[in-house]
C-alpha cells in the first residue's frame, strides 16, 4: 500500500486493515469514508462504521456522501479503494444483495450501501474477504451488487466503465490474488503452509493455480502485536464478534 495515497475505505474489514496499515507503514495515508469524512490521522477510538462520529472528531473535512462518492471517488481523486467482498465470483463481481432468486431469495443480504459506487468507480480496487469457504466464491454470483469484470474485462470496458477501475487484487486468509487479462481471479502469493489443494478447495470453480506458489514472508512479532491490538480494540467496540 502506497503510504501517501488517498484511500477510499469501505465498511468492516477494510477499516481494520486501514488502521493496521497506518500503524505499520502508512502513517500519512488519507482515508475517505462513504459518508464524507476525510480522516488524515489514526483516531484513538476505533470507529464502528464509516458514519461513526469518532472518525469525524478532528477530521480535516466532513462532507456529504454524494461529495465523497462523486467528487472524490468518481472524479478520480482517490488512488486506492478497499471494499469487503463477502460473496465474490471468478470475475470479481460482488453480491451483498440476495442469495438465490432476487424475488424469493434463500437469504436477503444487507444491500449495497456505497458498494456499487466503489465497484463501479474505485481506482486501485482491493477486495477483502475473511472467508476460505467455497460458498463465498461461486463461479457466478446470484446478484451483482458491486460490478467486477462482469463476464470479462472486455465486457466491463464495452459498458463504459473508466480505465483503471475494476478489482485489482483480492486478499483473503490464504494470501493474495490478482486478475488476469481475461479478468479472472488467480493466486499470486500465499501465506506459509498454504498448499495448492487449499487454494483449489477455496473456490467454486477450477481456479488456475501454478504448480509452485510464491510464499509471503511471515509477520514479525511487532507486526503481529499491532494486528492483535487492533483486533482486540475492534472487539471491545463490538465491531467484531468475540472469539470463542
Extended beta strands in the chain, E state = 6-9, 30-32, 37-39, 61-62, 80-84, 98-99, 107-108, 125-128, 167-172, 175-179, 185-190
Q: What is the dihedral of CA 151, 134, 228, 223, to 10 degrees?
A: -60
**Does residue 117 carry a catalytic annotation?**
no
Cell of 160: 463504459
Helices (H), the chain: 13-24, 53-56, 65-66, 115-121, 153-158, 196-202, 221-236
Catalytic-role residue among 34, 84, 117, 184: 34
The set of catalytic residues is 34
Amino acid at each position: 500500500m502506497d503510504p501517501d495515497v488517498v484511500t477510499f475505505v469501505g465498511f468492516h474489514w477494510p477499516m481494520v486493515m486501514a488502521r493496521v496499515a497506518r500503524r505499520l507503514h502508512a502513517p500519512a495515508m488519507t482515508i475517505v469514508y462513504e459518508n464524507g469524512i476525510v480522516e488524515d490521522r489514526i483516531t484513538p477510538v476505533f470507529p464502528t462504521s464509516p458514519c461513526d462520529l469518532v472518525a469525524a472528531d478532528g477530521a480535516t473535512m466532513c462532507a456529504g456522501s454524494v461529495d465523497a462518492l462523486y467528487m472524490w471517488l468518481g472524479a478520480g481523486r482517490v488512488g486506492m479503494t478497499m471494499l469487503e467482498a463477502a460473496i465474490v465470483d471468478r470475475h470479481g463481481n460482488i453480491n451483498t444483495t440476495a442469495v438465490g432468486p432476487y424475488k424469493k431469495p434463500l437469504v436477503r443480504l444487507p444491500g449495497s450501501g456505497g458498494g456499487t459506487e466503489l465497484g463501479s468507480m474505485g481506482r486501485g480496487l482491493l477486495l477483502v474477504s475473511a472467508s476460505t469457504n467455497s460458498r463465498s466464491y461461486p463461479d457466478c454470483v446470484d446478484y451483482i451488487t458491486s460490478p467486477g469484470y462482469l463476464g470479462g474485462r472486455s465486457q466491463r470496458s464495452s459498458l463504459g466503465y473508466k480505465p483503471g477501475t475494476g478489482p485489482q487484487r483480492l486478499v483473503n486468509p490464504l494470501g493474495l490474488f490478482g486478475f488476469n487479462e481475461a479478468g479472472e481471479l488467480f493466486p499470486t502469493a500465499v501465506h506459509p503452509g498454504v498448499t495448492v489443494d487449499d487454494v483449489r478447495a477455496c473456490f467454486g470453480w477450477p481456479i488456475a493455480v501454478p504448480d509452485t506458489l510464491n510464499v509471503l514472508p511471515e509477520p514479525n512479532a511487532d507486526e503481529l502485536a499491532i494486528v492483535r491490538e487492533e483486533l482486540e480494540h475492534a472487539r471491545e467496540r463490538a465491531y467484531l464478534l468475540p472469539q470463542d
